[in-house]
Amino acid sequence: MKTRREALEYGLSFPDTYQDAPFHDDNWQLVRYKPNRKAFLWSYEKDGCVCLNLKAEPLRAHFWRSIYKAVKPGYHQNKEHWNTVILDGTIPDEDVRRMIAESYDLIADCPAKRIYEAVRQIPYGRVATYGQVAELAGDRNMARAVGNALHRNPDPDTIPCYRVVNAAGRLAEAFVFGGVNMQEKLLAAEGVETVNGKVDLTRFGWRRKIFFTDLDETLLTSEKTISPATHEALRRFAERGNSIALASGRSLHSVERVQKDLGIDFPRSYILSFNGCQIYDCDRQETIYRAGLPLAVVREIFAMANKYGVYVQTYTDDRILAPRECEEQRFYANMIKTPYIIDEDPMKHLDQPPCKMLCNELHDHAKQVRFQNAVMERFGDEVDTMYSSPYYLEIIPKGCGKGTAAMILAKHLGVPVADTAAAGDEENDNSMLEAAGLGIAMCNGNERTKAVADVVTNKDNNHDGLVEFLDRL
């Protein structure tokens, strides 16, 4: 898509839209949503190219900018919520259309739609209050709007509004659900007891929680599997309507494979791959946040690795890019079953900034530390470094990491920090343990990680160290 006409025609294909030129300047053509007259597509020519200004959620705005150079912060608009998309032919048509559709969805969004989506999240056998639903829908002050929306429930089969009660646990008036005691009967069928028209919120109330967990030497055994007891504890936690977020230095491809192979792909799950530089929604099968290292920095770090005689690799979403085969490369390949591309110039395989680089040194830690110090001296304003094992030095964008990603996801889901917990064993887990409401260090972890945690497990990763905490959450 390179022409204004194509963009405007696609924008006008959405319901209740119209074209407008409000500035008495033919260079500016907008597409608006009729019910609220808000513009979701601004088109104009600048520097010889057609440009579109499109609304985006902050996480998505950052995501699109990290993928395409032709997506910039919004020109003359709020740069947190708007992107400028330059139609220079470098962005596939399907992604331009997707960005336009996302902009339309935000402008055309209404509280009722968000309320219904929030109610769908209430798990079987649990109830939530009007205030909780309002908070999940993005505005804790619209509890009254929640009641109004549920009275007009357009799809009772998939929107379980009978699972919503007031702040004291009291059921709604009989007429709301089509008859006397109907809400009570529907809840009873799910095992939720009512006494004198009220539900005991301490027993049946739902507070969605998030458990962030590292994989290697934390959730997984040393054999890279999961014990039956830990798997069962995860299942129970998920069935209570909670979310599990697998937070790893591994690539998305690698974590997805672990998730599926071990049967821990529960509903409402998320993946924080590349040490939190990518956040992936497993239900929707889409990336909701991504941060990348500038390509110029990546190129120079590869050159520095040659100078210091260390092995460094980087990543696409589903491949590892290595400059050569060596002992370190083979060691990592044997541990992490992700396909490799071996090329003395890995840069030519990168079409977007990679989320991280990894320096693997098996024998000379002092040499690796010298390299780390040189990288931080040269790029300390642009990257952070930390260890994920005694051999693996992680290099990620400045200010990112598992802790940052955990808080981004919690805010995105409307989950208070107090309702989050995180478990880990190594230095790259520290920020996550510090950020979460409860930080859990494995007793087999390093001493610095134990020092920043709130609690330390009594058993190690090979003996179900996390089970007692999962059952308490």
DSSP 8-state class, residue 238: H
Q: What angle do CA 107, 95, 349 make, to 5 degrees?
A: 145
| Distance between CA atoms of residues 229 and 90, nearest Å | 50
Asked if 162 contacts 186 with a C-beta cutoff of 8 angstroms, the reply is: yes
- Kindly state the helix (H) or strand (E) to which residue 290 belongs, with its residue range: strand 286-290
Question: Do the Cβ atoms of 438 and 209 come closer than 8 Å?
Answer: no
Q: How far apart are CA 181 and CA 171, in angstroms?
A: 9
| Helix ranges, 49-92 (H) | 58-67
Q: Say if CB 3 and CB 87 are below 8 A apart.
A: yes
List alpha helices for 25-152, DSSP H. Answer: 58-67, 93-107, 111-120, 130-136, 143-151
Tokens of 39: 């513009």
C-alpha 410/C-alpha 211 separation (Å) is: 10
DSSP 25: -
The answer to whether 212 and 420 are in contact (CB under 8 A) is yes
Q: How many Å apart are CA 415 and CA 270, to the nearest integer?
A: 14
Residue 363: Cβ within 10 Å count: 9
Q: What are phi and psi of 461, to 5 degrees?
A: -70, -20
* Closest by Cα among 22, 53, 27, 57 to 40: 53
Please tell me the total number of residues recorded for the chain in this structure: 473
- DSSP result, 419-434: GEEEEE-SGGGHHHHH
Phi, psi at residue 278, to the nearest 5°? -135, 130
DSSP class of 313: E
CA 260 to chain centre: 18
Given 51, 161, 282, 400, which residue is catalytic?
Answer: 161
Verify whether residue 400 is a known catalytic residue: no
Backbone angles phi, psi at 247, to 5 degrees: -110, 115
Rounded Cα gap, residues 289 and 355, in angstroms: 11
Cα separation, 26 vs 44, whole angstroms: 9
**Greatest distance between any 2 Cα atoms in the chain:** 78
Instruction: Tell me the CA end-to-end span of the chain in Å, nearest whole number.
Output: 49
- Cα separation, 406 vs 386, whole angstroms: 17
Q: Which residues are catalytic?
A: 161
